[in-house]
Amino acid sequence: MGATLRALRALVLLAGFYLLGVILLAALAGADYLLHLHAPTSLAAKLYVVSVLLAIPLVRGLFMLRTPKGEELPGLPVTEADEPELWRTVRELADEVGTRAPSRIVLTADVNAAVSEDARLLGLLAGPRRLYLGVPLLQGLTEAQLRAVLAHELGHYSNADTRLAAITVRGRAQVLRTIRHFEERADRTAGRERARQEKKNAKAAAKGKETKEIDTGHAGITYRVMAKIYIGYAKLYIRATLSGSRRQEYAADAAAARIAGREATSSALREIPALDAAFGFYMNSYATLGAEARLLPPRGEFFGGYGRMLSARQLELIGLRTELPTVPSSPYDSHPPIADRVRRIEELPADGRADEAKGAAIGLLADPDRTLEALEDAVLNEDVLRFRRTGDWQELLDGAMAANFAGLDTALHRALAMYTKDHPSLPALLKVIDDGQLWQLARRLPLSDRAAEAQGRAFREFVRPALADALQGMVLAELSARSRLRWEFSWSEPASVRLPPAPDGSETDLGAAIDAAVADHPDTGPLRALLPAPQGPAARETDAPR
């Protein structure tokens, strides 16, 4: 479908939104007229009020003609003076695509690249263009793969996708906003009805009368019906524009393959889902490791560490590259499945460009370390930037784990505190076990109905696994507080913990020590061996429950 037909379709769909509102207003007016003729005056007056309340959000939706301009994505704007090689590459690719280069490049902190255009007159006139480029892509792609990604995005410009998207986005925003108005009205009505029924129940309870179950199913039903009408139109709208959006992606892929090469384009498409999954893992397991302790990695390492992790986990990425998504992320995803896009590219004739630009894309930046530092300032909020910077990743791991264990509060801690009427600690728990009271203590843990009804050996088998898990956390917390744990940081595998050696100098088997403590005939000796030996009254005081 050509640009003119796509523009016409988008305009028709946008007009359909307003037409739907006019039809619904006309239906309300017709219903009011019939009520005036046939309904009793008291009933008609009540229904007039309902009609007015329904008409308000309809009218508001109809006259919300201006869609607020979207805010620029958080990121680091870079000028040609900042990043001359990156700008040269983008301009060169724009010339090859046959389109005008963006006027602004913004480096972002996600695994994505995107383009936008501040078009005028609903997209009929071109406007300033922006290119958003995720630094994690630069860290994970080769230069050839990045050229393919950039050529794909610039291909959207050449096909007028970014200009005509303004019309489609306008209609989608208007429909969703009107739906939101109706749902908000329905929720407020249901809230008032709930409050009324709760007040009525409270009065009944005060008088010793039976209370009724709260039921707000009928409250706000008219608003929800109106919302459903617009939800139906929204689905029609999105589905009607979906095929066009997916065709745009195929066309942009073809432009990328033509300019950057078949191999670079297909490998980039395979790489991006793997990089995205790896980035999510990195943010959870590394970058934000010290969040609870208000700790940050060294300056520039919040995003810089991602490249280090990628280098260390190349074998894990291989599987992610081959397991491509075969369905869209949702029925309304504007992008076709990655597997289908890769298949189409790899079916193209070989072009002999497999060995081009194998260097890392991050090399296009003038000073990667400086950029990674500046990106932190651009995208992290002020509160996070005030966190204390650690000297290295090992210090971050040590501080994070110490803080996590210091605040450890498990069901076993709470049960022990209730049982001993004192501060829960490992020495206190070991004393309870030595006194033969472990299973009485276990009765104070949260239990399933089946476990609570069990007796004897059956009860012990029900609670033993949970008890062992909680005991392990308590042991690690106690050893951490006594500085008897050593954590080992690694980019290639999860952090590991080193315990104090056993009395004979061998490596401590924590699992075996815990199993011994929760056995039917418990032995706390292996766990006690992990604690410092008391050396007099002062030391014994330290071991006492606090």
pLDDT value at residue 167: 56
DSSP 379-401: HS-HHHHTSEEPSSHHHHHHHHH
Residues with Cβ within 8 Å of residue 134, at least 6 apart in sequence: 107, 108, 109, 110, 111, 112, 113
Kindly tell me if the per-residue pLDDT of 122 is higher than 60. no
pLDDT confidence of 64, banded at 50, 70, 90? very low
pLDDT value at residue 259: 92
pLDDT confidence of 71, banded at 50, 70, 90? low
Tokens of 485: 């744990």
> CA 147, CA 505: separation in Å to the nearest integer?
57
Kindly tell me if the per-residue pLDDT of 137 is higher than 80. yes
Kindly tell me if the per-residue pLDDT of 110 is higher than 90. yes
* E strand or H helix at 190: helix 161-206
Average pLDDT over residues 1-23: 63
3-class secondary-structure state, position 246: helix
Residue-wise pLDDT tens digits, 216-232: 767 767 677 777 777 77
pLDDT value at residue 14: 63
Q: Comparing 530 with 31, which gets the higher pLDDT?
A: 530
pLDDT value at residue 72: 65
Residue-wise pLDDT tens digits, 79-97: 999 999 999 999 999 999 8
- Give the distance from CA 223 to its chain's centroid: 31
DSSP 113-168: EEEEE--BTTTTB---EEEEEEHHHHHHSBHHHHHHHHHHHHHHHHTTHHHHHHHH
Average pLDDT over residues 495-509: 81
Residue-wise pLDDT tens digits, 158-206: 654 544 555 565 556 566 666 777 777 778 888 888 888 888 878 777 7
Candidates 65, 35, 66, 68; CA nearest to 50 is 35
pLDDT value at residue 69: 52
> CA 474, CA 525: separation in Å to the nearest integer?
16
Average pLDDT over residues 269-281: 94
* E strand or H helix at 106: strand 104-108
316 with 277: CB under 8 angstroms? no
The 3-state secondary structure of 41-74 reads: HHHHHHHHHHHHHHHHHHHHHHCCCCCCCCCCCC
270 with 319: CB under 8 angstroms? no
Candidates 12, 475, 546, 483; CA nearest to 237 is 12
507 with 455: CB under 8 angstroms? no
Residue-wise pLDDT tens digits, 26-39: 776 777 666 666 66
pLDDT confidence of 540, banded at 50, 70, 90? very low
Q: What integer best gives the mean pLDDT of the chain?
A: 81
CA atoms within 13 A on the CB side of 193: 15
Q: Comparing 357 with 148, which gets the higher pLDDT?
A: 148
pLDDT value at residue 535: 52
pLDDT value at residue 67: 47
Output the CA–CA distances (angstroms, integers) from residue 243 to 80, 169, 239, 332, 501, in the order listed.
37, 15, 7, 10, 64
> CA 116, CA 154: separation in Å to the nearest integer?
10
Q: Comparing 60 with 284, which gets the higher pLDDT?
A: 284
The share of the chain scoring above pLDDT 70, in percent, equals: 76
pLDDT confidence of 210, banded at 50, 70, 90? confident
Tokens of 236: 């029609």
pLDDT value at residue 543: 46
Which letter does DSSP use for residue 283 in this model? Answer: I
Pairing of strands 104-108, 76-78: antiparallel
pLDDT value at residue 251: 85
pLDDT confidence of 538, banded at 50, 70, 90? very low
The strands making up 113-117's β-sheet, listed across from edge to edge, are 76-78, 104-108, 129-134, 113-117
pLDDT confidence of 319, banded at 50, 70, 90? confident
Residue 333's identity, in one-letter code, is D
> CA 80, CA 88: separation in Å to the nearest integer?
8
Angle at 307 between CA 395 and CA 146, to 5 degrees: 160
Candidates 61, 76, 57, 80; CA nearest to 17 is 61
CA-CA-CA-CA torsion sign (414, 416, 417, 423):
negative
Candidates 88, 138, 149, 183; CA nearest to 307 is 138
Residues with Cβ within 8 Å of residue 282, at least 6 apart in sequence: 305, 306, 309
- Burial state string for 163-202 with b = 16 or more CB within 10 A and e = fewer than 16: bbbbbbbbbbebbbebbebbbebbeebbeebeeebeeebe
> CA 298, CA 396: separation in Å to the nearest integer?
9
Q: What is the phi-psi region of residue 74: left when phi exceeds 0, alpha when psi lies from -120 to 50, beta otherwise?
A: beta
Average pLDDT over residues 481-492: 89
Residue-wise pLDDT tens digits, 245-262: 777 788 889 989 999 999
> CA 225, CA 364: separation in Å to the nearest integer?
54
The number of residues in the chain equals 546
Tell me whether residue 499 is exposed, middle or buried, using C-beta atoms within 10 angstroms of its C-beta: 0 to 12, 13 to 18, 19 or more: middle
> CA 156, CA 164: separation in Å to the nearest integer?
10
pLDDT value at residue 190: 80
pLDDT confidence of 499, banded at 50, 70, 90? confident
The share of the chain scoring above pLDDT 90, in percent, equals: 38
Kindly tell me if the per-residue pLDDT of 504 is higher than 60. yes
Average pLDDT over residues 346-375: 90
Kindly tell me if the per-residue pLDDT of 536 is higher than 90. no
The 3-state secondary structure of 442-497 reads: HCCCCCCHHHHHCCHHHHHHHHHHHHHHHHHHHHHHHHHHCCCCEEECCCCCCCEE
